[in-house]
Chains A and B, each alone.
Chain A
């Protein structure tokens, strides 16, 4: 660096130069474009890469800040469960793996439950953290989801789930599989109580989680580009040995195939949730939240050092995908594929045309 580094012995060097704490994640590389982004910029932009609009995975605490902003949510303690029901061990003990994951993430397990106000409406939120053993669904995570849903029932609050999971936790074997019906029971309790259950599918949501509570929401939202599937692309490729279609199992693909209600840009996510919970809970808007802070989605953090923030609202405007109707030609229709295409296309058109001609009922 300078001449002194070359001359002075390493041990003495410590006294001369002041040590600077450089976090290892100061710069983050966009997986799509390879562009380097300053971490603080990325954080201020809700972990959406400016330019490529790639939605980076969020940790549970980050997600809670994203949703609740300055309003501190109450973390609902999750019931403690017997760990390691199978006394499982592969190369290492399962209990050791859990210990590591706990140390790394500072979480108890892959699911965090919180309760807080979402623009006046009290909601219970469950967030799955992909860092904790790939957000896998084991006994602890299952119990947390159940506890969260039952808590929502007692509080008569809507339940919002942010799903992110690699699927069932293999190390818990059949017990992890049993979380599928178990969590479904809790979903039914929400339904019986007449409470909205909104699922936000984030990257990635796969396997047993998708095949149970994460697909049973009243409203299914996905973040742009999120991988959402039952069997992973690799498994399918191995089975069929063919090239998979472009964008296969991505959020937009699911939207086109009628599996989800909408793909929402992260900048628009909060307001979408607010709007929907208000309508579903039939609660009037307290006041339109048009403050600059809310619009920017700054999570209350006034970091104004990067260009990303200033562009954020505009970007969101341009890229947000909200319940765009899918044209008939783009929909998957095996009948059209098999039979002659013209007949079906006109058939679809004629339905809409015929509608107004319907004879009016006599009064």
Chain B
């Protein structure tokens, strides 16, 4: 990748990516662009243009004689512009859809690309293993780390295996176990948040879903090693907070983080499930809103068209931001780290007006 990546740093902590900066970013070409197989509803015009480009390309390859490269170029340009235009002005509801995009890179994509010698660890030692929360240790850019994240799965089989990223109490108890281990051995903790929420089931309630979440949040606040949390997709309510109570919370540009899903809010508050778009806007769930409220620390910009259009670039950028965030806590004592986390959260909401 050219030297651009340096400029495209999510930047200093607390810096918001404004509309102008977003526009500058759009100029780059999509190097690792992968063909999108799944288009969201609002992407229809882009899908049509891109389909036409592919069609023309195959035609050009087949016929050989007729030169339609010019036309392809214009169409590609058009598709690109449409993409830039659409993704520059996503509504909160559209962002929700992007955050849930099935092709979006998930937790294990980040882990596999960023963590060397990743060794997954399983089980909560009380009841079972919950694949909705994956965790393990490894080396991240020369640093020993413990990684914990919600994994949604990428195909039907793995989605079922990971319970669509919705954890049971065992998942949170495993997270506690891993965090305590990290604390014992002085490993920094990286958490990757991507869940619709904790799983609402009979067995989960039976085994104390609420208690498991509470203890996990408690553990996050307790340990004496730095925690950096990245909301890579959906940050769903208590299920997310349980592992996202960190020293530094980063968030992808089109990720969402909310107390309840827009659908849930629409049916509870508006008593009308069709009001989800209105709810998404009113609930202030986007990264851009949350940085204003002081809930997150910085936004990691996504490639044009969302993280799924260029997963490699996305993961690389996320890695760079995580590295920089972790470096900020180098040399801090366990007490200072804990105090930092406490102050960070106690501050939230007090200055909002």
Does B218 make an interface contact (CB < 8 A)? Answer: yes
A-B contact count (CB 8 A): 163
Interface size on B, residues (CB 8 A): 50
Check A180–B202 contact: CB distance below 8 A: no
Q: Which residue of B lies closest to A205 (CB)?
A: B210
Q: Which residue of B lies closest to A335 (CB)?
A: B127
The verdict on B213 contacting chain A, using a C-beta distance below 8 Å, is yes
The answer to whether the Cβ of A257 comes within 8 Å of any Cβ in the partner chain is: yes
What residue of chain B has the Cβ atom nearest to residue A208's Cβ? B238
- Check if B259 sits within 8 Å of A230, measured CB to CB: no
**Complex contacts, B218 vs chain A, CB 8 Å:** 184, 187-188, 216
Q: Is the CB of B210 within 8 A of A173?
A: no
The contact string, 1 if C-beta is below 8 Å from chain B, for chain A 161-191, is 0000000101111111110111011011000
Contact of A244 among B127, B202, B237, B265 (CB under 8 A): B202
Main secondary structure of the interface of B (DSSP, over half): helix
Contact residues in A for B37 (Cβ distance below 8 Å):
none
Interface string of B12-49 (1 = CB under 8 A from A): 00000000000000000000000000000000000000
Q: Are B283's CB and A248's CB within 8 A?
A: no
Cβ of B285 within 8 Å of any chain A Cβ, yes or no, is yes
Within 8 Å of chain B (Cβ to Cβ): is A89?
yes
Whether B202 pairs with A240 at a CB distance below 8 angstroms is yes
Tell me whether B259 and A173 are in contact (CB under 8 A): yes
Chain B CB within 8 A of A46 CB:
no
Q: Is B145 an interface residue (CB 8 A)?
A: no
User: Distance in Å from the Cβ of A108 to the closest Cβ of chain B?
Assistant: 16
Chain B 307-332 interface 0/1 with A at a Cβ cutoff of 8 Å (1 = within): 00000000000000000000000000
In the bound complex, CA of A229 to CA of B242 (Å): 16
Asked if residues B210 and A229 are in contact (CB atoms below 8 Å), the reply is: yes
B209 touching A211 by the CB < 8 A rule? yes
With A82-B352, A178-B348, A213-B214 in contact, do A168 and B259 touch (Cβ < 8 Å)?
Answer: yes
| Contact digits for A80-117, partner B, Cβ 8 Å, 1 yes 0 no | 01100110111100000000000000000000000000
| CB of A239 closer than 8 Å to a CB of B | yes
A332 at the interface (CB under 8 A from B): yes
B-side contacts of A212, CB under 8 Å: 213-214, 217, 238
A30 within 8 A of B: no
Contact of B245 among A181, A210, A216 (CB under 8 A): A181
Please tell me if the beta carbons of A174 and B282 are within 8 angstroms of each other in the complex. no
Which residues on the B side are within 8 Å of A249 (C-beta)?
Answer: 205
Task: Please report which residues of chain B, range 205-235, place their CB below 8 angstroms from some CB of chain A when the two chains form the complex.
Answer: 205-211, 213-215, 217-218, 220-222
Binding site for B on A (CB under 8 A): 81-82, 85-86, 88-91, 139, 142, 146, 168, 170-178, 180-182, 184-185, 187-188, 207-208, 210-216, 228-231, 235-236, 239-240, 242, 244-245, 248-249, 257-259, 332, 334
